Amino acid sequence: MLYVQILINGILLGGLYACIAVGFSLVWGVLNVINILHGSFIVLGAYLAFFAYTGLGIHPYLFAPFAALVLFMLGYAVQLTVINRVIEAPVLVTLTTTFGLALLLDNLMLVVFAANFRKVSLKPPLGVIDLSDTFPSIDLIVPVDRLASMLFALVFVALLYWLLRHTVVGRAIVAVRMDRYAATLMGVDTTKVFAVTFALGAALAGAAGALLSPIFPISPLAGTTYLGKAFVICVLGGLGSVSGALVGGLVLGVLESFGALFFGPEHSLTLSFTVLILLLIFRPNGIMGKRGFV
Q: Which residues bind other proteins (CB under 8 A)?
A: 2, 5-6, 9-10, 12-13, 107, 110-119, 121, 123, 125, 128, 130, 141, 143, 145-146, 215-217, 219, 221-222, 225, 229, 253, 256-261, 264-269
Put residue 106 in one of left, alpha, beta given phi > 0 → left and psi -120 to 50 → alpha.
alpha
Collapsed DSSP state (helix, strand, coil) of residue 2: helix
The residue among 116 and 181 lying less far from other proteins, judged by its C-beta, is: 116
Query: Quick one: 146 or 180, whose CB is closer to other proteins?
Result: 146
Least distance to other proteins from the beta carbon of 92, Å? Answer: 24
- Give CA–CA dist 63/214, Å, rounded: 12
Q: 94 CB contacts (<8 Å, ≥6 apart)?
A: 31, 32, 33, 34, 83, 86, 87
Q: Rank residues 10 and 240 by Cβ distance to other proteins and give the closer one.
A: 10
Q: Least distance from C-beta 120 to other proteins, angstroms? A: 9
Phi, psi for residue 134 in degrees, rounded to 5:
-90, -40
Burial class (CB within 10 angstroms; exposed 0-12, middle 13-18, buried 19+) of 57: exposed
CB of 3 or CB of 162, closer to other proteins? 3
Q: Decide: residue 118, CB within 10 A, 0-12 exposed, 13-18 middle, 19+ buried.
A: middle
- Contact of 293 with 174, CB cutoff 8 Å: yes
The answer to whether the beta carbons of residues 207 and 52 sit under 8 Å apart is no
Q: Which is nearer to other proteins, 23 or 223 (CB)?
A: 223
Q: C-beta of 264: minimal distance to other proteins in Å? A: 5
When the beta carbons of 5 and 96 are compared against other proteins, the nearer one is: 5
Consecutive H or E run containing 130? strand 128-130
Rounded distance, CA 39 to CA 220, Å? 10
Burial degree of 183 (CB within 10 A; 0-12, 13-18, 19+): buried
- Distance of alpha carbon 188 from alpha carbon 29, whole angstroms: 18
Nearer to other proteins, 250 or 288 (CB): 250
Q: Are 150 and 279 in contact (CB under 8 A)?
A: no
Which one, 32 or 270, has the nearer CB to other proteins? 270
With a CB cutoff of 8 Å and minimum separation 6, the contacts of 84 are: 191, 194, 195
